[in-house]
Structure 1
Amino acid sequence: MKEASLFLYDHIKEFRSCYALKIGSKKISYEEVLHRALTLSAFLIDNGTNKETIGIVGQRKSSSYIGLLGVLFAGCSFTPINPKYNITKINSIIKSSNIRILVGDLEDILALDKSITSRMLLNIIPDGLFHKKIPNNYIDQSILKSISPLKEPIQSKHDDLAYINYTSGSTGTPKGVKVLRSNLFYFLKNMSNMYQLEKGFRASQMFDFSFDPSVADILFTWLKGGLLCIVPEEELILPSGFIVREKINFWNSVPSIANFMIKTGNLEKNSFPELTHSMFCGEQFPIHVAKAWRAAAPNSTIENLYGPTEGTIYITRYVFTLEDEKKSFKNDIVPIGTPFDYHSSVIIDENDKPIEDSQIGEIIFSGPQITNGYLDDQSKTDMAFTSFNWDSSSLIWYRTGDLGYRNSSGDIECIGRKDSQIKIAGRRVEIGEIESALSRFKKTEGVIVVPLKDNQNIVIGCVGYTLDDITKEQILRIRKDIIEFLDPVFFPKKIISISQFPKSMSGKIDRKKLEIMAKDI
């Protein structure tokens, strides 16, 4: 097994003459990315860094991409910091990760509160110039130019950290997931084995750095010699023009982006003939969205990639074929498929015992992509990463908190979170079941349902949100016709039309915000 950054470097150096990064009209070659990343690595090492965590600040700027690679090449780990975070969250990340150095775009670093940047040992801008007098702890491109780059990345150990990704989890309290270099290596190896791509392919980069699929977009694209095309901020909600303009071949986004394109009439047949691979992740993938995307991208695969951050980005894959369009799947959701190579999955019941195929239980995984737990939180680590008496090999398994089952084809179908069950009138129901029933009707296709709670936080019903205009008469008609698929007690108390779903920093639909909105209705 090769160390992750050396594995990356050995591939990337073969593409020196190709372009690696495209931001707007600006293109940067692999030669330049490598030179600047290795220069940053040398500077970090010269300034005493040793396997420490460094903050990567900002989005969609060349300094952030060069910085991420340079940090890995220096034997350090990175933690993404979004300047849009509130100061409390940024300070919490910096404190728990012991960050002394920030790397990123000048504008993004200056957007941080001065109380943060002033106490840093260094604020480094790999691609950019400080046009005013440079403060003592700022390092810009002009200073880095005088540094001799490393000849190659330094040799790290497999159990050294690659990055720390903060995920809110079901409680809303940020958890720092510790991703090792061995985890990253196996992820990249698996992805590389699954996709045979010609160098120069054009890949999208949609995700915020704080959402770990961004790591896949960046490092996998560069591992295979592709051109990473950055989606501009103003096109994140509706990227159809970007896909066409940039002639994207390898697409990756959350499914709700595609659903919004359907609702706004921007997913017409044969819209994206250049696409060859279309990946969707981060949310449940509705069948109607998969079908619409196939019509828009007839030359593309349609794939559902699933994985908790604790499993290093993606850990299962399902390719939704044309034949699958004739099949029936639970809640009309695309399966998450089967585990990557070197990994195992089991479905367990509420007593932590394995259950038979077709029975619903919690999905758990083991294998080399399972991460090293949570930073400075042994209690949560022990609850989520555990061994079981029935496993004679005493492997560590990660409990995803997701419910699912194996279908007759051996593929896992994920039906939602353990904590997405609600009880109405004394009866339990999965929110996904309500959404699936409502999605059978044109006006509520792609609906998002959230629990409605009273002042004591007791669930008293649910509320549905749709992107379509809907009248009271249409709601009454749906209520009448849905009885065949849904018990009337579970029908939403209100169905509300909104122009677009609120999104979290990661680009997923912000269900918590919708739940708060429901209380105010």
Structure 2
Amino acid sequence: MDDTMDAVLPGRFLRGLALSPDRPAVRAGKAALTYRELHERALALAGSLLSGLPERPQAIGVLAGKGLSAYPAVLAGLYTGITTVPLQPAFPALRTRQMIEASGVGALIADDDALPALTALREAGTDLPVLFRPGGQPMPAVPYDPAAALASPRPVRAADVAYVLFTSGSTGRPKGVPVTHANTAHYFGLLDERYDFGPGDVFSQNFDLNFDCGMFDLFCAWGAGATLTVPPPQAFRDMPAFAAAEGLTVWFSTPSAIALIRRTGGLRPGAMPSLRWSFFAGEALNCQDAEDWQAAAPGAFVENLYGPTELTITVSAHRWSAGRGLHGVVPIGAVHAGHGVLLLGPDGAEHTDEGELCIAGPQLTPGYLDPSDDTGRFFHRDGRRWYRTGDRVRRADDGELLYLGRQDSQVQVHGVRVELAEVDAAVRTCAGVEDAVTVAVAAGHTCELVVFYTGSAVPQVQLARELRSVLPLAIVPKKYVHLAEFPLNPNRKIDRKKLALRAAPAAG
């Protein structure tokens, strides 16, 4: 493999292919694909798509879950050399359509389980060429032609966009975040130096493929010639048994998974001895959870990873040890080498010890797909372009960062980042609703959304049903409170603090 290919995302898979051609690249249930098989399928899919389209599209959408056929589809998108947009089949069709239109997707690769999602997209007005298994084709078909297989992945440049992921937007529509091959090269290069992953490792693959941490799973494993294994939902009833059966050595999930495994008795001391590395991200990790996980996996290093999508998967790491933390929360650690760090106060002045975390450096996205979304998130200082994370942190004596919470209306619900304003906007579209305010209430290891609304009183089940057509299921609120009018603060603005206090019993 030449040096140019090694510096871009497809090159990481080719490195794994050279190390482990006949070892499993991915397992799902009893089925598996070797590196060689996955590579050949991806080349055939990519070649079929390129030869079946009249012109090169701006982007290719990959509509895929986590079945075995999802992985050749994702790799094929990257092999075309065209920007890949991972799409979640479980999302509402209207939301997926927004993503398709925002990113300029001109064709789709769909996995074996995508027929219901394709049908829903067609009904929502999306009509794109799609490469999909034969039978039940709801859109114009691109024929699968093994004879059109590429000989090798199409070349790309470091500055080219590898993939686009979408995050919640305060405007009521998702924001597209382009990630370049240069971004990923810096990221995975640092991870290669920090961790000792190898062909004998078996990685959990817990994250959906449209979530940035899913890229960690794929390309840490594939860059090392290791195996990905997809835990089915029933595996969480006895995760130690699944880990033993699969020979699991690397775990990555949101911290919420710890509580689930604890409830099913999976965190007993020494329950998961095969684990060498355990990673958590997407939510604050509390010290008790880290301690319990460490006891269940005594041979593993436990790390808390932090990073918004705009900074390429994760941009800081803390290796947990007992006695570290603030208010029972594990530190988010040191920011990756090569990046600048600023802590800004409310007045915009730089502070030494505490403030909003702002980061500049090689993992930073070039900017949102819609430049209007950049406002308030990016700024220039000292000749560098900075991203405002919206997270408040404190700098510890050793220089590591301690997480204090959000300073805006953005929250994490089961690891999914959501702007409360997006939920507000969605609720306002529901029949009978005049205005809506969403607040977040702590609920165990995550938070729960409670909606206050004015207008006509509407049954909760009706509101939830309407919202499921426009919001991902994970962020559809479960509690709705009808008000004649919103409380106001002395500045005659809606008193969100009073609503948050009222929401606590509503969420109980």
Query: Normalization by structure 1: what TM-score?
Result: 0.76
Aligned AA (2:334): T
Residues 392-449 of structure 1, C-alpha deviations (whole Å, 9 max, x = no match):
xx1111110000011011100111110269xxxxxxxx99xxxxxxxxxxxxxxxxxx
Q: Aligned to 2:114, what secondary structure does the other structure show?
A: helix
Distance 1:13 1:171 in 2: 43
Q: Aligned to 1:347, what secondary structure does the other structure show?
A: strand
- The answer to whether residue 237 in structure 2 is matched with residue 271 in structure 1 is no
C-alpha change, 1:18 and 1:180, in structure 2 (3 Å) is same
Aligned to 2:70: 64
User: How far did residue 103 of structure 1 move?
Assistant: 1.1
C-alpha change, 1:250 and 1:335, in structure 2 (3 Å) is same
Q: Which of 356, 372, 377 is 2:366 aligned to?
A: 372
Distance 2:223 2:150 in 1: 19
**Percent same amino acid among aligned pairs?**
28
Distance 1:23 1:291 in 2: 30
- The answer to whether residue 30 in structure 2 is matched with residue 25 in structure 1 is yes
User: How far did residue 285 of structure 1 move?
Assistant: 0.4
Q: How does 1:57-456 map to 2 (within 5 A)?
A: 57-113=63-119, 116=122, 120-125=127-132, 129-131=133-135, 137-139=140-142, 143-147=144-148, 149-169=149-169, 173-235=173-235, 239-321=239-321, 325-327=322-324, 329-357=325-353, 360-376=354-370, 378-388=371-381, 391=382, 394-419=383-408
Query: Normalization by structure 2: what TM-score?
Result: 0.78
The total of aligned residue pairs comes to: 434
Distance 1:236 1:44 in 2: 37
User: How far did residue 157 of structure 1 move?
Assistant: 1.9
User: How far did residue 465 of structure 1 move?
Assistant: 3.8
CA contact (8 A) 1:102 1:120 kept: no
User: How far did residue 514 of structure 1 move?
Assistant: 5.9
C-alpha change, 1:514 and 1:103, in structure 2 (3 Å) is same
C-alpha change, 1:515 and 1:199, in structure 2 (3 Å) is same
C-alpha change, 1:313 and 1:254, in structure 2 (3 Å) is same
Aligned AA (1:410): G
With a CA cutoff of 8 Å and minimum separation of 6, indicate the structure with the bigger relative contact order. Answer: 2
C-alpha change, 1:509 and 1:413, in structure 2 (3 Å) is farther
Q: Aligned to 1:351, what secondary structure does the other structure show?
A: coil
CA contact (8 A) 1:42 1:74 kept: yes
Q: Aligned to 1:111, what secondary structure does the other structure show?
A: helix
CA contact (8 A) 1:51 1:160 kept: no
CA contact (8 A) 1:159 1:182 kept: yes
Query: Where in structure 2 are there 5+ consecutive unaligned residues?
Result: 413-419, 425-433, 446-467, 482-502
Aligned AA (1:513): P
CA contact (8 A) 1:18 1:200 kept: no
Distance 1:82 1:74 in 2: 20
CA-based RMSD? 3.2
Q: Which one is further off, 15-24 or 260-269? A: 260-269
Distance 2:200 2:436 in 1: 53
Query: Where in structure 1 are there 5+ consecutive unaligned residues?
Result: 422-429, 432-449, 468-503
Q: Aligned to 2:150, what secondary structure does the other structure show?
A: coil
CA contact (8 A) 2:332 2:400 kept: yes
CA contact (8 A) 1:303 1:318 kept: yes
Aligned to 1:12: 16
Distance 2:75 2:225 in 1: 15
C-alpha change, 1:109 and 1:77, in structure 2 (3 Å) is farther
C-alpha change, 1:345 and 1:51, in structure 2 (3 Å) is farther
User: How far did residue 115 of structure 1 move?
Assistant: 5.2
User: How far did residue 237 of structure 1 move?
Assistant: 8.0
Aligned to 2:41: 36
